Amino acid sequence: MAASSILFLLLEALVAGASASTFTITNNCGFTVWPAATPAGGGTQLNPGGTWTINVPAGTSSGRVWGRTGCSFNGGSGRCQTGDCAGALSCTLSGQPPLTLAEFTLGTSGGNQDFYDISVIDGYNLAMAFACSTGDRIIVCTGSQCPQAYLFPNDNSKLHHCPGNSDYQVTFCP
């Protein structure tokens, strides 16, 4: 019985130590944007001035948030002019180019470090700002040759970091 009690306490401590990061996604554009997020979040319609909040589990790697434009949906399916993800409102795959990407990996190095960036490697479709609540800086990208964004695959100087499992803000049309 003592061994099972110790195991239970260890499992409880592991679960309590794991947390989620909150991503607050805001549409400052004068038009509707359909943000999408993988692997957690899916997608939604976000009218001008609207906010969408998602919780992303600790340990998530290769996460992405992007804005889709020119969308038309009937229920959960439809089509977007930019960033379309196989016609789904709630994305489970990455969007089709062109799309401006906010990319992140949460809780690496034993949960002590997050990494985040903006990428226009797959094209540019929407101005974006990406910031960590406790990080080193805000990244702003307002064009296809954005100096703060990854422009090509080995452009390794654009990666930023935050303490593990921080909260984030993604803003379209900052």
Amino acid identity of residue 17, one-letter, is G
Q: Is the pLDDT of residue 4 over 80?
A: no
Half-sphere exposure for 139 (CA within 13 Å, toward CB): 32
Q: How confident is the model over 25-34, as a mean pLDDT? A: 98
pLDDT at 18: 55
**What is the Cα–Cα distance from 54 to 56, expressed in whole angstroms?**
6
CA atoms of 91 and 83, how far apart (whole Å): 10
Mean local confidence (pLDDT), 90-108: 93
140 contacts 169 by C-beta, under 8 angstroms = no
Distances (CA, A) of 149 to 1, 84, 103, 124: 55, 21, 10, 10
Token pair for 23? 């991503």
Looking at per-residue pLDDT, the higher value among 5 and 82 belongs to 82
45-79 per-position pLDDT tens digit: 999 999 999 999 989 999 999 999 999 999 889 99
| 68 vs 158 pLDDT, higher one | 68
Q: Cα separation of 28 and 48, whole Å?
A: 6
Q: Are 118 and 102 in contact (CB under 8 A)?
A: yes
Q: The domain 20-172 belongs to what CATH superfamily?
A: Thaumatin (2.60.110.10)
